[in-house]
């Protein structure tokens, strides 16, 4: 049987796909610069500068990610709470009513089972 694809699997595949696309784009950029160098006889310094800029951008992104990781516990909690979509008053009313009705139905069910059990016990 084939395994069902979960949302997590789809997100992982999307991340892998975007990383591959970024890597391919960087390689194409370097190839273009090298092609330009062959066509116009550009200095090797310029190519080295472009490569260094790419590396610097990667380092900046990694430092930015590290900085985000170094946030304290309460900062992370506040960031996550800002992302939460809170239910509206109408939704809260609907959910509360559904819980109350469900509890009443379960109560009636167990009372009925108890009555039936006591009647059966009384017969013997």
> For residues 80 and 74, what is the distance between their CA atoms, to the nearest angstrom?
10
Distances from the Cα of 110 to the Cαs of 34, 78, 103, 113, in angstroms? 79, 43, 11, 5
pLDDT digit string, tens, across residues 2-32: 566 677 777 778 888 888 888 787 777 776 6
**pLDDT at position 90 over 80:** yes
Averaged pLDDT for residues 55-70: 74
**pLDDT at position 50 over 90:** no
Averaged pLDDT for residues 75-90: 91
pTM more than 0.85? no
CB 54 within 8 A of CB 26: yes
**pLDDT at position 1 over 70:** no
> For residues 8 and 95, what is the distance between their CA atoms, to the nearest angstrom?
28
**pLDDT at position 114 over 80:** yes
**pLDDT at position 41 over 60:** no
To the nearest whole number, what is the mean pLDDT of the chain? 81
pLDDT tier at 38, thresholds 50, 70, 90: low
**pLDDT at position 88 over 80:** yes
**pLDDT at position 71 over 60:** yes
């Amino acid at each position: 049987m084939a395994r069902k694809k979960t949302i997590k699997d789809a997100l992982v595949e999307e991340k892998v796909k975007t990383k591959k696309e970024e890597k391919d784009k960087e390689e194409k950029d370097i190839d273009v610069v090298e092609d330009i160098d062959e066509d116009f006889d550009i200095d090797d310094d310029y190519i080295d500068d472009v490569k260094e800029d790419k590396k610097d951008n990667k380092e900046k992104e990694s430092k930015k990610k590290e900085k985000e990781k170094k946030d304290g516990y309460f900062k992370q909690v506040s960031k996550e709470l800002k992302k939460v979509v809170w239910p509206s008053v109408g939704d809260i009313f609907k959910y509360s009513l559904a819980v109350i009705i469900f509890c009443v139905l379960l109560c009636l069910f167990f009372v009925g089972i108890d009555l039936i059990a006591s009647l059966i016990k009384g017969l013997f």
